[in-house]
Structure formats: C-alpha cells, structure tokens
Amino acid sequence: MKKVSILVGVVVIVFGIALAMSFKSELCPYVTVSYVVSKGSVSNVQVNGTIVPGTTKVLPNNTLMFNLSDGKTQMRVVYHGILSHYQEGIPAVVVGSYYDGIFHAKEVLLKCPSKYKVMEENYSTKKVTGKV
Amino acid sequence: MDIGYLFLIGSMLSLIASIVLDFEFVRGRRCWERIKYANATFFAFTALAFFTLLYYFLTRDFNVKYVFLYSDTHLPLVYTISAVWAGREGSLLLWLLYLGIFLLFSTKKRDKTTAVANAIMCVVAVFFNFLLLTSSNPFVRLNFNPPEGWGLNPLLRTPEMALHPPAIFLGYAGMTVPFAYAVAATYYEEEWIKRARNYLLVAWAFLGIGILLGAWWAYKTLGWGGYWGWDPVENSSLLPWLTASALLHGVLVEERKGGMKLVNYILAVVTFDLVILATFITRSGIINSVHAFARNQEAYAYLLLIVLSSVAAFAVAISKKDVFRGKSYGIRDRLIQASILIFSLATVTVLIGTLTPLLIRASVTRAFYRHIEIPLGTALVVLLGVCVLAIKRDFNQRVLKSLAAGAGAGIICFEITRLALASLGVGIFVFTLMGIVQGYSGRKIDLRRAGAIAAHLGLILLFIGVMGSWMYESDYTHVNLGVGQSVKVGDYILKLNGFNEVNGNGKFYVIAYVSVYKDGKLIGVMHPKLVIYNLMRNDRIVASVDIISMPLQDIYIAMGSVTESGIASFEFYVVPLVSFVWIGSLLIVAGGILAALPESRKKLDKSAVEVKGVEHAHRES
C-alpha cells in the first residue's frame, strides 16, 4: 500500500511540474498596444486594437503590414498570409510576438465590420474561431 | 402572459409538489403513487412548453423574440425544428424535458433512497425551471411584429449541428441520475452502482455521440482541416465525459470487490458539477468575452448550484464515512486505478486550460493541451495493453508476446516510413491490440464484455488516428489560383478549372471546380463552395468544405475568398488517418450502448450471484 502511495505521489508531482511548465510556456496573455510598445519586447501575446487607415502596405509573397492602434499608441504589425475581408479601420486581434519595433503576428483575427459590403467588393468568409 | 410560460409555471408547481411528497414519503406517509403523478405532471407540462415553442417556430411567429432570433422564413423544416435548441433558452428547456423523461423512469423501486434521489433530481429541475421563468424565458415577446426573422446561424444548418445539442444535453441531463443516486443511497448506507449504472452508460454514450457530432461538424464546416480545436465549448463537453469514463472503470472495481467507493462517489459528484459547468459555458459564451462574467446574471446561479451540490454531497459523505470502507486487491484493480488517475489528470489539464481566461487575462494555446494530453493518451493506451492481460495466467509471457509484436510492427513501420514518432505510435498500437486479442481470446463474450472490447478497440484506433492527424497533417493555407492556373502543393497539383454560380432557395452558391492530381493522375475534382444566405445577419457567408476521403488520408479543401478578377484563395490540407478517429470514436460509443443493452444486464445479475456464491464457497473453505 505504502509503495503504491509513493508511486502515485511521484506520478502526480512529475505531472504537476510538466503541467506548470507547459502552462507557463503556452500562456498567451491579453495585453494592450501601449503595454507592448512600452515593454519593447514581448513574446506570445494577444493584442486588441484597430487597424489604422492609410497604413497598410502589401508586399510581395503575401506579406501584409499595417499599424494597430489602441487609441493612444500605434505599433507596426507584419503578417505573412492572406486575410479574407481585410479592411482598414476595423477592429482586429493580433497574436504573436513583438521585437525590433515590429509585431510579428502568427494569427490575425478580424472582427466583422457592421456593414458587410459583400456583393460590391468580394465574396469572402469569416474565419470562425469559436462556436456559436 | 404567454401560454408557454403558464406551462412552465405548471411544471414548476409539479416539481415542488414532487419534492414535498418525497419528504412526506420519507417520513412514512403512503404517497408513492402521488409522487409518480407529480413527476408525470411535471413531464407533461414541460413537454407542452416545449411543443408550444416548437409550434411558434413552425408557424414563424417572429413576435416571439427567441423565434425571431433563431429562424427566418426561408429556413427548411428540419432546421426550423432544430432551431428550438439553437440558443440558450431552448437548450435549457430541452435539459428540463430530458430530466422529466428520466424522472418518469427512475421511480421503479419504491424505497426511501429512490424518494430522496427523486427529490435531488427535482431540485436540479427546479433550478433550470427557475432560469426558464426568469432570465432565460424563451417565451418573451417583442412589442412589434417583425415580418422576417434574424435567421439561424448558417453554420448550424447541418445535420450534425441539428443533432449535436439533443445528444449532448441528453448526456448532461443523464449524469444527474448517478449523482442523485450516489448521494441518496450513501445517505441511507446502501449501494448505488446497480441502480445508476445504466443511466451512467446511456448518458456517457450520448455525451460521446454529441462530442463526436461536434468534432465531425467542425471538421466538415469550419475549414481549418481539424476536428478538435481545444476551444472552451468543446472542452467543456469533454470534461464530464472524461470523469464519467473514469467512473465507469471505478464501478468495475466496486462491483467486484467493493473497493474504490469513495473515489466513485467523488467522480459521480464531480461529473455532475462539470455537466452544470458545461451547460453554463456552452450557453453563455462566457469564455469568449472576458468581461462577461460580472454582467451575466446567470453565472452566479450556476456557481451556486455547483457549490450547493458539492457541499451537500460532501456533508453526506462526511456523515456516512463508514460506507466507503472497502478494499481493492490484485494487480488488475491497481491497473484500473492507474487508468482512473490518467483520466483525472487529463480532466485537471483541460479544466485549467478552459478556466484560465475566466481567472486571469490570458488564454492558453492549443499546444498546451497537446503537450499534456498526447503523453497521457499514450500512457492510457499502453496501460490498457497491460491491463487486459492481468486477469490471465502467464501474465509475463503474454506481455512479452505483445511487446515483441509491437516492437516488430514499429521496426517495420520505421523501415518503410522513416518517421520515428509514427513508428513508435504504430508499435504501441500493435502492442495494445495484441493485448486485447490475447486478453479476450478463449473467454466467454457476453454483451457487456463485447461493449468493453468495442470501446477499447475504439480507443486504440482513436489514438492512432489522433496521432496521424495531429502530428503529420500538411497544411497549405495560402493557395491562390486564377481560372486555368495550377500550382504544386506537396505531392499534389491543384488546378482551378472555373467557377459556377447557383441560386438556391434563400441562398446563393459560388462553386469552384478544382482538379487534384497526384503523380500525373487525376484523383478527383473538388467543389469547395461559398454559400451566401439571404439573411440580415453579418455572418451570412459560409465556406463549404470539400473532402476526398481515402482509407489512410483525407484531402481537404476550403475556399477562403474570391476576388472580382476571379482569383480565389484556398486552404488545402492533407490529413492522415483521420478516418481512424471517426471509426474509433464510433466504436467507443457503440461499446457504451452494447454494455447498457438489457441482455447484458440480466447476465450481469446472474454473474454477480455466481461471484457471490464463489466468494461464499471460498470463505467456507
């Protein structure tokens, strides 16, 4: 009985350490643009903001650059890939890391603009990340 | 006041009557028949409320806010019916209706334990009934008559999503029964497993069906090539399934040797708490919006129910400590305990990940779950391979045989594929498969054992399928093609032949025709679509995925968007072994249903008598 208890104890402790380590490395906090810029370098965060009109630059090789603002501060965001219904002036959440003065986004979630001008512009879909 | 609301008041009054009568019965009054009447009245009123809501949907009475929000005039009949449970209010009504059905069946045995269990279930029903009468009233009317409804979310217009909530909520409501019997029977120092086992199996199976439908829907609909995203809603339904799976194994030890009583009791209570948590998370959207907790008035009600049920169960356990005495012996019981430990650790992991956004301003990534759950799943499969051999003689020899087979398969796989982890996975798969074959060969197979075999085969297929699809999926998320262009992605060549536009009933399709070639041969023409619904909702455009399923891999394509100039962007995935995930999950569910079938119950009673007889004989000798 004693042996079993010790074994279970060891398993639980090892598991606890693994869990804590994985949790720490995979935690992705919600932060503001101002926080990111003032810190200068942060990794693995989610930043909420608005895409600043007139700042978008489309580079070859599907690379997109734009500024994200929280009303006080702006930061430059770079993203590799296509974003369906990308639009300036709409709210967005970017997930990734900030270094060398640029936010490198692994993921960009665009919030739907209130008026959907689908038929005039293009057919596009909303990327669904959660269920309804 | 709406007639549906009156029915809900009627069901509330019936519930209160039933609870009062339960206590009268416990005090010695002869009122059993009246308890049954009260339960039946409760069921009848709830069913009437449910059908009233359904009637409003069928007659498109958009003056009812809930009908306005979840349907429109173009909605086909089937999805008009399923729209009843598309939102929070209707789902809670379904929960209540299921409790009504369980209450009809659970009064078979006339004793105090049943009466108290009945009262506990009624209290849970009172909780949901109260929500339906206050903050989640489905019968609220608007002060004007909209000519058209807002419309059901287009993503929910699939057969899977029509059936997913009824299955999940049947599982949730069903878990109330083992909880109620565990507490009531412990209070009277009786055993509860036999009374609750079939409810547990049925609830577990339906929970499994619901989770599987959800995963299948996500795979076919969401267009990211995956079926399990570890999002809070998915996680919340997995949590009670994990603890219920643990409980099903704990029950084995308790039935045979009388051990693990406390663990089983705790698992029954925790499963119920997780079911309530899941209902709350699923139907409040709380995790997605960080600040919603303070504003969501129902949050505290759910929290209160979880705390109250836990405290009551704890109090009963403390006052009846002696009931939990019992021992478990032997290597097999130890191995089953180890499996329960693994299930519990998996539960803790998912729970921590799911609740993180509620507790701190952060969330965890998918990798968090994968880092922990993949090793745990692997350990579970290895453990299974050893555990099924533990009842047989020549234990060591048989384990060696399994090991040899596993090692052989792993080496062959490595020689062919040169993938180390995949080969390890195949080795473990064969090791456990050999264990199951050796462990069950030559033994009498009744329905219950057949259920166990099916579920365990399902588990190892699921293991190999998850491993293949998570670790070896190839994704090409930025494939841009104009008409007539082709591009090489991995081993495949994709060519966009053209588009077609089709007008359907209340919707409009843009269909792309993409030819897929491998080694110069045409594999098939895929038709990913964009469907634009004629709705006022923002989310009226959905992508429709096309999949070519082959035995060892799926080819999966989704269209992201089309520009005016005719350039379409696609996401293309090659998902290995995903069919194993579906077959494995189906087998697990089938196992639960097999084990709950009536014939196996009779056999069980008989074999229990035999075991007791054997034990008597042992003691006498």
Looking at the complex, report in whole angstroms how far the Cα of residue B601 sits from the nearest Cα belonging to chain A: 34
Q: Which of A12, A125, A131 sits opposite B561 (nearest CB)?
A: A125
Q: What is the mean pLDDT of residues A76-89?
A: 77
Whether residues B480 and A82 touch (CB distance < 8 A) is answered with: yes
At B279, list the tokens: 């209902």
CATH value at residue B49: 1.20.120
Q: Which domain holds residue B493?
A: 474-576
CA distance linking residue B377 with residue B350, whole number of Å: 13
ipTM: 0.77
Q: What is the pLDDT of residues B311-365, one digit of tens each?
A: 999 999 999 888 888 776 778 888 999 999 999 999 999 999 998 887 888 888 8
Nearest to A123 among B214, B352, B510 (CB): B510
Residue B65 within any structural domain of the chain: yes
Residues 497-556 of B with CB under 8 A from A: 510, 530, 532, 538-543
d(CA B581, CA B215): 10
- Is B513 within a domain? yes
Which among B233, B363, B560 is the nearest to A84, CB-wise? B560
For B338, the token pair is 């180890």
- Residues with Cβ < 8 Å from B344, sequence gap 6 or more? B243, B246
Q: What is the mean pLDDT of residues B381-391?
A: 91
Indicate the residue of B352, B371, B532 with minimum beta-carbon distance to A123.
Answer: B532
pLDDT of residue B539: 64
Over residues B393-408, mean pLDDT: 91
- Please check the confidence at residue A110 and state whether its pLDDT lies above 90: no
> Is pLDDT of B548 > 90?
yes
Longest Cα separation, chain B: 90
Contacts of B352 in chain A (CB under 8 A): 19, 23
Whether B152 has its CB under 8 Å from any CB of chain A: the answer is: no
Rounded to the nearest 10°, the torsion over CA B454, B457, B458, B462 is 180
Measured between CB atoms, which of A44, A125, A131 is closest to B543? A125
Shortest Cα distance, chain B CAs vs residue A42, angstroms: 14
Q: Is the dihedral of CA B244, B248, B253, B257 positive or negative?
A: positive
pLDDT tens, position by position, A1-22: 677 788 889 999 999 999 999 9
Give the end of a domain, one of B155, B170, B201: B155
**A82, closest residue in chain B (CA to CA):** B478
**Is residue B27, in this structure, part of any structural domain at all?**
yes
Q: Which of B90, B123, B155 finishes a domain?
A: B155
For residue A126, the chain B residues in CB contact (below 8 A) are 538-539, 541
Question: Averaged over B526-540, what is the pLDDT?
Answer: 81
Q: In the predicted model, is pLDDT for residue A129 greater than 80?
A: no
What does the alpha-carbon distance between residue B279 and residue B4 come to, in Å, rounded to a whole number?
22
In which element (H, E) is residue B362 found?
strand B362-364
In a domain, B6, yes or no: yes
Q: For B247-278, what is each residue's pLDDT tens digit?
A: 999 998 888 777 889 999 999 999 999 999 99
CA distance A40 to chain B (A): 20
**Which residue among B222, B290, B562 places its CB closest to the CB of A30?**
B290
Instruction: For residue B217, give the chain A residue with the closest CA.
Output: A131
Contact A108, A94 (CB under 8 A): yes
On whether any CB of chain A is under 8 Å from the CB of B485, the answer is no
Q: Is B371 on the interface with A (CB under 8 A)?
A: yes
Residue type, B536: M
The whole-chain average pLDDT of chain B stands at: 89
> Hey, what's the torsion of the CAs at B171, B346, B576, A80, to 10 degrees?
110
Last residue of a domain, which of B92, B120, B155? B155
Token match 């998902």: residue?
B575
Answer whether residue B341 is part of any domain: no
pLDDT for the residue numbered B37: 95
Q: Please write down the HEC assignment for all residues of B262-331.
A: HHHHHHHHHHHHHHHHHHHHHHHCCCCCCCHHHHCCHHHHHHHHHHHHHHHHHHHHHHCHHHHCCCCCHH
CATH number of A29-110: 2.40.50.140
Which residues in chain B are contacts of A31 at CB distance < 8 A?
361
Chain A residues within 8 Å of chain B (Cβ atoms): 4, 8, 11-12, 15, 18-19, 22-23, 26-31, 44, 46, 62, 81-82, 84-85, 112, 114, 116, 118, 121-126, 128-132
The pLDDT tens digits of the residues spanning B48-78 come to: 999 999 999 999 999 999 999 999 998 999 9
Quickly state the pLDDT bin for B207 (edges 50, 70, 90): very high
What percent of chain A has a predicted confidence (pLDDT) above 90? 28
Question: Per the CB < 8 Å rule, is B538 touching A116?
Answer: yes
Residue A128 has pLDDT above 50, yes or no: no
Encode pLDDT of B476-497 as tens digits.
877 888 899 999 998 999 999 9
Report yes or no on B589 lying in a domain.
no
